[in-house]
């Protein structure tokens, strides 16, 4: 990130008459536009788009890219986000013309390759999670949550139990869980965590009722801890007639080790952009397939891909289906990348993923124990959560530590989440990082802790080396400036 | 160890020792025995990179791609030209291997690009604010419905049945979940049936949702519809084709309160249906009710212009079950694609694309309806897509055309049972006169 000079907005380098495109001349007999469209339909004021050359465009976006940081540039231990290496061969195969330039409404016999990938990916994800069937339609994790919850709703309704309107969510859950439950029309009941960081069984027992629709659980949870009581939790929920929803955001810990389906979960979503190595794209596109046990298959989003007489086809004739959550079949080229990833690794390789993810996280946990408070001192899974509260007396917040890490060239961990840990610092190293990388990162954190002792202001005012320093975020929210305006925006 | 793992066996041992464990197995001791997987996953053997490439190329080869075929199929996503610059730029690792820009000091590139995207979408739609993108046009429309219901505190919406069938399905899924009633309003001569609308709209209506141009290719008269909606204190929601907006009056000018749409046409390949992007614009009044990420401009400590995610008190990570939406990841890389596309094409280029679509679509309509038995289905004005009546089933026409490597139009009967033997054809700037003439020749030769 060498680009310290400010980059003008693309609109500010616009020059009337400059152009960055080349289109062929019109080769059909032309008519006056006014002959083809009524005058009052026509736009008078053109949209103020930039006028720049191709080189202007390339330079502009190259410079913008230099004001960004990606996994290829360095360590990115952002907890809960699984910022692992994104294999390049997956990018190559997802760009094959036979995947990239295919229309979703082409006749089935002309898209057999696409359908085969979807069919096989469904089977592979089912095997990995111990579920019976996946829909690949949801576009992201939260979207998968919505689809999964709607499947739960449709299931209860079909059984004449539409009174089941409540979803239990632990206080350690991702914010998307309660938000998705609300969007699916459920009432959210929050349950506490116990001293070990798991679901408090007494609170859980008190929360179940005949109105229970289900429980949303992340396991390992957002503290990076595996809930040992999972079998008991499943029994409590099932005995009350509810279903278990597995938030797969943390599935990187359990590939080939344990399966949600064997733990008693009925519905699962996975984040292909976390566990299955597809890039995050600066905030998407992801893909959030939702998988279910046999009894819930009829309620999945439609259509599903089926195989009969040597042919793959789309089956939209699912009368009990929850409907559609987006157009077409999902983020197909993201699926191609995940499919290629699973094929590259096989069963043994996937198990190595989780072994190394968990090994790396525990190594960080062990080495950082002396630096930060550890609210739950036990073996962690793929991520570990510390509290930076011990530096409060020096007036240093965990935000400051995160900002100082930027100066050391690292993307900081997730901070202030999970909400149940004060001054939380959530680190997820992923399996693709080496011991050397972790050691260097640990050394950086040690150096920052040194700085807190000797010169806390240095940490409080960080970062210094980034293209911009701390932002006035309050002003951004108080006086929203959400677009460029030609006159005022200088 | 696979090539994606960096630790060596020796390092693994060192690390285990440091942790105080003897084996990798012990790392998983918190997982109860009864839920541990006893056997290996039953998955295909791992492939080498060479074999993987071979396998995927073979699968890709089982699809007819639009580089080797001539496409007249649209119906919501379109075969527009994609300048070469785009893939070069979006393939820069700094963009595609980054996460959501939570740390603004490390993400000014993504943030500024989104700010530029928001500006461009406001310009195109004629609206005051835009978010950072949604998953697709269909879910964007569904979220617009939720926002409208929340904003006017009513729980019934009217949607034109000429809105994309998949969008209507998604809309109904989201509506059912929240107990929102959806009523469909039919069409006459391809555009919304005004009489039906007037009798259906009431003080219970939260919003009227239409598409521009609609799924049948016809262009609705937005100002009339806006007036009817506003007279009932309902919001007017338009799902628009962004390419058409270079030529057509912006929905903002016509009185829209929320403008959403499918942004695929802006430089995104068809990709068998995704990933594309949805865009979401609105009047400033609705800002605090918007779903999704929003980027705002501010300054850093040194007074330099900088960009950050803002107005986050609407979002799930803060508001949890009270959030305006559950959306977290959006389609940032597709929005970046759209931004680069709109930058390259710019003010003149986008107009030129729209102009070429308009001319070519009208030429195609004129030529094809010269054939006996082929008549325009509607006389309403259209942009790049139009419907014709066919003397035989469009499925038969498409099957025959495939032999000439032509991907024909969309049989409307699939979603409108009453529209037997009707065919929806899309003609983008990519289609040449020669290709259009070939289509007409092949269809006529039938």
Is the pLDDT at B217 greater than 80, yes or no? Answer: yes
Confidence (pLDDT) at A5:
75
pTM of the model: 0.98
The CA distance from A221 to A247, in Å, is 9
Q: Where would I find the beta strands (DSSP E) of B213-360?
A: 235-240, 258-262, 278-282, 295-299, 305-309
Tokens of B420: 């037997």
Higher confidence at residue A46 or residue A3? A46
Mean pLDDT of B367-379: 98
- Among left, alpha and beta (phi > 0; psi -120 to 50; other), residue B383 is alpha
The CA distance from B240 to B243, in Å, is 9
Helix boundaries (H) for B76-127: 84-90, 93-96, 108-125
DSSP classification of residue B426:
E
Q: Which residue of B has its CA nearest to A439?
A: B15
Domains of chain A in start order, with CATH, are 10-65 (no CATH), 89-344 (3.40.640.10), 351-475 (3.90.1150.10)
User: Is A257 in contact with B28 (Cβ distance < 8 A)?
Assistant: yes
* Optimal mutation site among B74, B105, B128, B348, interface A, most CBs of chain A within 10 A: B105
Confidence (pLDDT) at A298:
98
With 0-12 CB in 10 A as exposed, 13-18 as middle and 19+ as buried, what is B81?
middle
User: Is B47 in contact with A343 (Cβ distance < 8 A)?
Assistant: yes
Is the pLDDT at A432 greater than 90, yes or no? Answer: yes
Q: Give yes or no for a contact between B94 and B86, defined as CB atoms under 8 angstroms apart.
A: no
- Per CB-CB distance under 8 Å, the chain B contacts of A102 are 63-66, 270-272
Mean pLDDT of B87-95: 98
Q: How confident is the model at residue A487 (pLDDT cuts 50, 70, 90)?
A: confident
- Annotate A251-279 with b (16+ C-beta within 10 A) or e (fewer): bbbbbbbbbbbbbbbbbbbbbbbbbbbbb
DSSP classification of residue B104:
G
Confidence (pLDDT) at A306:
98
User: Is B351 in contact with A46 (Cβ distance < 8 A)?
Assistant: yes
User: Is B359 in contact with A31 (Cβ distance < 8 A)?
Assistant: yes
Q: Give yes or no for a contact between B208 and B224, defined as CB atoms under 8 angstroms apart.
A: no
Give B296's strand partners.
Answer: B308
Is the pLDDT at A56 greater than 60, yes or no? Answer: yes
User: Is A285 in contact with B275 (Cβ distance < 8 A)?
Assistant: yes
- Using a CB–CB cutoff of 8 Å, tell me whether B353 touches chain A: yes
Interface predicted TM-score (ipTM) of this complex, two decimals? 0.98
Confidence (pLDDT) at A6:
86
pLDDT 10s digits, A234-263 = 999 999 999 999 999 999 999 999 999 999
Give B134's strand partners.
Answer: B278
Other CB atoms within a 10 A radius of the CB of residue B392 amount to 12
Confidence (pLDDT) at A1:
52
Is the pLDDT at A488 greater than 90, yes or no? Answer: no
Q: Give yes or no for a contact between B171 and B142, defined as CB atoms under 8 angstroms apart.
A: yes
B83 — phi, psi (to 5°)? -60, 145
User: Is B433 in contact with A27 (Cβ distance < 8 A)?
Assistant: yes
User: Collapsing DSSP states into helix, strand and coil, what is residue B346?
Assistant: helix
Confidence (pLDDT) at A169:
97
Instruction: State how far residue B330 is from chain A, nearest Cα, in angstroms.
Output: 5
Tokens of A62: 């190259």
- Per CB-CB distance under 8 Å, the chain A contacts of B28 are 226, 257-258, 358
Give B306's strand partners.
Answer: B298
Nearest to A125, CA basis, from A362, A300, A284, A5: A300
- Per CB-CB distance under 8 Å, the chain B contacts of A21 are 83, 344-346, 349, 352
Q: Give yes or no for a contact between B144 and B289, defined as CB atoms under 8 angstroms apart.
A: no
Nearest to A141, CA basis, from B144, B317, B146, B271: B317
Domains of chain B in start order, with CATH, are 1-37 (no CATH), 70-82+347-444 (3.90.1150.10), 85-340 (3.40.640.10)
* Optimal mutation site among B328, B379, B400, B410, interface A, most CBs of chain A within 10 A: B328
Is the pLDDT at B17 greater than 90, yes or no? Answer: yes
User: Is A473 in contact with B298 (Cβ distance < 8 A)?
Assistant: yes
- Selected residues 189-228 of chain B with any CB under 8 Å from a CB in chain A: 219, 221
Confidence (pLDDT) at A116:
98
Nearest to B280, CA basis, from B254, B247, B249, B256: B256
Nearest to A56, CA basis, from A21, A13, A12, A4: A13
Confidence (pLDDT) at A164:
98
Confidence (pLDDT) at A490:
43
Q: How confident is the model at residue A196 (pLDDT cuts 50, 70, 90)?
A: confident
Confidence (pLDDT) at A489:
44
């Amino acid at each position: 990130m060498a680009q310290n000079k400010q980059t003008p907005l693309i609109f500010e380098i616009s020059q009337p008459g400059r152009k960055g495109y080349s289109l062929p001349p019109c080769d059909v007999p032309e008519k006056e536009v006014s002959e083809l469209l009524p005058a009052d339909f026509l736009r008078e004021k053109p949209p103020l788009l930039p006028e720049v050359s191709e080189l202007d465009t390339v330079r502009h976006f190259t410079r913008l890219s230099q004001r960004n940081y990606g996994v290829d540039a360095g360590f990115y231990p952002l907890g809960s986000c699984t910022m692992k290496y994104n294999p390049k061969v997956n990018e190559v195969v997802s760009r094959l013309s036979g995947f990239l330039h295919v229309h979703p409404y082409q006749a089935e016999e002309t898209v057999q390759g696409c359908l085969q990938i979807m069919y096989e990916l469904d089977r592979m994800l089912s095997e990995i999670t111990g579920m019976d069937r996946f829909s690949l339609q949801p576009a992201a994790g939260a979207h998968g949550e919505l689809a999964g919850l709607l499947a739960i709703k449709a299931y209860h309704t079909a059984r004449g139990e539409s009174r089941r309107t409540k979803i239990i969510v632990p206080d350690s859950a991702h914010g998307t869980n309660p938000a998705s439950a609300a969007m699916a029309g459920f009432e959210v009941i929050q349950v506490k965590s116990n001293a070990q960081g798991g679901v408090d069984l007494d609170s859980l027992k008190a929360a179940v009722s005949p109105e229970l629709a289900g429980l949303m659980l992340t396991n390992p949870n957002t503290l990076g801890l595996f809930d040992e009581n999972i079998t008991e939790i499943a029994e409590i929920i099932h005995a009350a007639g509810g279903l278990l929803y597995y938030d797969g955001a943390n599935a990187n810990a359990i590939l080939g080790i344990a399966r949600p389906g064997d733990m008693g979960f009925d519905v699962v979503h996975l984040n292909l952009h976390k566990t299955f190595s597809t890039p995050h794209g600066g905030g998407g596109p992801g893909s959030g397939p939702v998988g279910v046990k046999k009894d819930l298959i009829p309620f999945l989003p439609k259509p599903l891909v089926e195989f009969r007489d040597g042919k793959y086809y789309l089956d939209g004739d699912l009368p009990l289906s929850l409907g559609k959550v987006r157009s077409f079949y999902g983020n197909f080229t993201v699926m191609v990348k995940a499919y290629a990833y699973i094929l590259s690794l096989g069963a043994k390789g996937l198990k190595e993923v989780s072994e190394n993810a968990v090994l790396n996280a525990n190594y960080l946990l062990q080495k950082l124990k002396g630096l930060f408070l550890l609210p739950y001192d036990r073996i962690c899974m793929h991520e570990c959560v510390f509290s930076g509260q011990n530096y409060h007396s020096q007036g240093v917040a965990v935000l400051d530590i995160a900002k100082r890490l930027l100066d050391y060239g690292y993307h900081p961990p997730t901070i202030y989440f999970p909400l149940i840990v004060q001054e939380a610092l959530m680190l997820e190293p992923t399996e693709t990082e080496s011991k050397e990388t972790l050691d260097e990162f640990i050394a950086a954190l040690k150096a920052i802790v040194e700085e807190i002792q000797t010169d806390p202001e240095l940490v409080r005012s960080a970062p210094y080396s980034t293209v911009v320093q701390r932002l006035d975020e309050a002003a951004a929210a108080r006086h929203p400036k959400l677009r460029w305006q030609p006159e005022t925006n200088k | 160890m696979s090539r994606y793992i960096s630790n060596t066996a020796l390092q693994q041992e060192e690390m285990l020792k440091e942790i105080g464990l003897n084996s990798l197995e012990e790392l998983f001791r918190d997982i109860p025995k009864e839920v541990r997987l006893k056997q290996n996953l039953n998955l295909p053997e791992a492939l080498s990179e060479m074999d993987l490439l071979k396998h995927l190329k073979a699968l890709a080869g089982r699809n007819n791609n639009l580089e080797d075929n001539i496409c007249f199929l649209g119906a919501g996503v379109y075969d527009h030209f994609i300048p070469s610059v785009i893939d070069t730029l979006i393939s820069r690792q700094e963009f595609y291997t980054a996460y959501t820009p939570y740390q603004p000091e490390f993400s000014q590139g993504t943030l500024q690009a989104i700010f530029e995207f928001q500006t461009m979408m406001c310009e195109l739609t004629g609206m005051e604010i835009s978010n950072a993108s949604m998953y697709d046009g269909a879910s964007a429309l569904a979220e617009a419905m939720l926002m409208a219901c929340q904003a006017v505190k009513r729980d019934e919406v009217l949607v034109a049945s000429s809105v994309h069938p998949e969008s209507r399905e998604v809309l109904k899924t989201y509506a059912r979940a929240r107990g929102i009633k959806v009523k469909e309003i039919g069409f006459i001569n391809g555009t919304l049936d005004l009489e039906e609308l007037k009798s259906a709209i009431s003080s219970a209506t939260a919003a009227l949702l239409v598409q521009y141009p609609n799924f049948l290719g016809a262009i609705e008269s937005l100002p009339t519809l806006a007036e009817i909606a506003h007279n009932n204190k309902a919001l007017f929601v338009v799902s628009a084709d962004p390419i058409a907006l270079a030529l057509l009056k912006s929905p903002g000018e016509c009185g829209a309160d929320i403008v959403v749409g499918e942004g695929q046409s802006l430089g995104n390949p068809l990709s068998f249906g995704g990933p594309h992007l949805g865009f979401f614009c609105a009047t400033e009044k609705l800002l605090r009710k918007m779903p999704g990420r929003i980027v705002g401009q501010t300054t850093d400590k040194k007074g330099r212009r900088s960009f950050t995610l803002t107005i986050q008190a609407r979002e799930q990570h803060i508001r949890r079950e009270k959030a305006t939406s559950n959306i977290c990841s959006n389609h940032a890389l597709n929005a970046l694609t759209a931004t680069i596309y709109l930058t390259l094409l710019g003010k003149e280029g986008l107009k030129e694309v729209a102009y070429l679509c308009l001319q070519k679509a009208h030429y195609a309509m004129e030529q094809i309806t010269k054939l006996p038995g082929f008549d325009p289905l509607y006389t309403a004005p259209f942009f790049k897509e139009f419907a014709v009546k066919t003397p035989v089933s469009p499925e038969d026409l498409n099957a025959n055309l495939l032999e000439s490597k032509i991907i024909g139009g969309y049989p409307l009967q699939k979603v409108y049972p009453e529209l037997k033997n009707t065919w929806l054809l899309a003609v983008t700037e990519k289609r040449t006169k020669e290709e259009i003439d070939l289509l007409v020749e092949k269809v006529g030769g039938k």
